[in-house]
Structure 1
Amino acid sequence: MNAALLEVAGLTKTFHSGGRRVAALDDVSLTLAPGETLGLVGASGCGKSTLARVLVRLVAPDGGSIRFRGANWLSLEGAPLRRARRHLQMVFQDPLAAFNPRATVAGVLTDPLRIHALAPRAGWPDEVAQLLTRVGLPPDHAGRSILDLSGGQRQRVAIARALALKPDLIVLDEAVSALDVAVRARILELLVDLQRASGLAYIFISHDLAAVRAVSHRIAVMEGGRIVENGPAAQVVRAPESAAARALVAAVPHLARERTG
């Protein structure tokens, strides 16, 4: 068995809002192997997005530990953290909010190459063309404005931007939930194809259990800031043990039929 790519132990995070104390993360632990997809599901407000932001160091946890690629991920600061961040990337639900709206596709994709000195300037056009091809977009889209793209095309560019850094792990936070059904299916197929080709690992976060089931090796179910169930994807769908998982399965008719059929 491969050594763990990611090891999370005892993560906690509390927010205070309106005089109330909200435990967004409550003793969360998980592991992820290289090339594996862990689906993270749960109702809105269960802590999924907080966990994603803690993993990519956008939010600091109150307690717990994270080891990534064998190193203490939470101890990194400054230049060492900037260098290490290329190995763990994130794709958000709304890529437009993460882009400079005045940018071109080429500008979006060359930024990580420039910042991390991954290719000489003369090689940027070829790198951009290769990235676009990998995510199923024509290379001539490089000159287009981000604002001129459809939602599905923008999400492909967001994935290409993450791929530019040759990461080991991509965290996808509701990355297909804003897309229509047909576009969503094509993006899910793209993610699976990319993983097969390059050995990427994913944490795929969604409230949509059907989408998670389509791409995940394992599924972890969150409720109230805790992971209440974690197991092989088929097992969680067919024989959910927690009330939260049973509710998610029941909410998707064809998954409910798979469970009983």
Structure 2
Amino acid sequence: MSLLTVEGLRKTHPGARGGIALDDLSLTLAPGETLGLVGPSGCGKSSLARVLLRLDRPDAGSIRFEGQDWLALQGGALRRARGRMQMVFQDPGAAFHPRATVAGALADALRLHVPAPRKDWPGLIAARLDQVGLAPDLAPHPVATLSGGQRQRLAIARALVPNPKLIVLDEAVSALDTVTRGQILALLVRLQRQLGLALLVISHDLAVVRAVSHRIAVMQAGRIVETGPADQVLDRPQSEIARRLIAAVPQLPRTGDPP
């Protein structure tokens, strides 16, 4: 059974490859699955994310999410359903209001998505912070005082507030250092196993998608040109663009090799 089914999406943006951002794009995502989406810059990965989150509307095509016609939802029905599909963006610094506190960032999500009495919010906020490895006593601190890794943990906590079934991660670890990146990826894998989340991991970093993905889809010029199990796509790529992406990964010399 499919959690997300995308068929024939088309989206045009003036000036982008003759205006075409998505070109007859189709994909599926099962409950609890991680799909890694890779491709060169400008291939349409972020355009797809914006369409999935209903931040942009496609010119053609269909999206079914949890059995619903996702593009037909409007008004209150869309606001309620949006809690089931959440997003974590690339820049953890720009993801929050510059004067927000940690508690305030999560309280906004509670206000939008969770019908809980306000007196219960401190406990709910503390539980979400603990879930992503943040100390609950950070709640009154300004978000601006957190490190990049802490802010991305907070962004994940905010995404978890409405108990989503799918989280879209658009280059969500690319702004972090190598150690922090590994910690955030391990957190995502743990949360997925605990909560049964599906993840759509959009990244140009093949090491990131290999680390977390069950399947990988390769994009080029607005289309999916190859899909398969992660190891199969990365070890035995069938498309030319996948081979080029893999060949472009920097290879460090072994110890003792001449520079």
Matched, 1:17 2:15: yes
1:122 alignment counterpart? 119
What is the rounded CA distance, in whole Å, between the counterparts of 2:246 and 2:64 in structure 1?
32
Q: What is the alpha-carbon distance in structure 1 between the residues aligned to residue 222 and residue 81 of structure 2?
A: 27
Contact 2:12–2:59 (8 Å) recurs in 1: yes
Asked if 1:238 corresponds to 2:245, the answer is no
Question: CA deviation digits over 1:5-54, x for unaligned, max 9?
Answer: 00000000011139x73211001000000000000001110100000000
Which blocks of at least 5 consecutive residues in structure 2 are unaligned?
252-259
Pairwise CA RMSD: 1.4
1:184-203 equivalences under 5 Å are: 184-203=181-200
Equivalent residues, number: 252
Q: What is the aligned partner in structure 2 of residue 8 from structure 1?
A: 6
More deviation, 243-252/49-58: 243-252
Q: Is the partner of 2:238 in helix, strand or coil?
A: coil
Deviations 1:169-189 (A, max 9, x none): 000000000101000000000
Select the residue among 151, 172, 177 that pairs with 1:175: 172
Q: How does 1:7-156 map to 2 (within 5 A)?
A: 7-17=5-15, 21-156=18-153
* Match status 1:215 vs 2:240: no
Q: Report the Cα offset of residue 247 of structure 1.
A: 1.4
CA distance in 2, matches of 1:212, 1:118: 35
Give distance in 2, aligned partners of 1:128 and 1:181: 28
Give me the whole-angstrom Cα distance separating, in 2, the residues matched to 1:159 and 1:32.
20
Any idea what SS the aligned residue of 1:100 has?
Answer: coil
Structure 1: where are the runs of 5+ without partners? 255-261
CA distance in 1, matches of 2:245, 2:123: 44
* Equivalent pair of 2:105/2:158 in contact (CA under 8 Å): yes
TM-score by length of structure 2 reads: 0.95
Counterpart secondary structure, 2:94:
helix
Q: Which amino acid aligns with 1:10?
A: G
For the residue of structure 2 that corresponds to 1:89, the secondary structure is strand
CA contact (8 A) 1:210 1:252 kept: no
Three-state SS of the structure 2 residue aligned to 1:96 is coil
TM-score by length of 1: 0.94
The structure 1 segments of at least 4 consecutive aligned residues displaced by more than 3 Å after TM superposition are none
Q: For 1:30 and 1:16, locate their aligned partners in 2 and report how far apart those are by CA, in whole Å.
A: 24
Letter matched to residue 191 of structure 1: L
**Structure 1 residue 253, shift from structure 2 partner:** 5.0
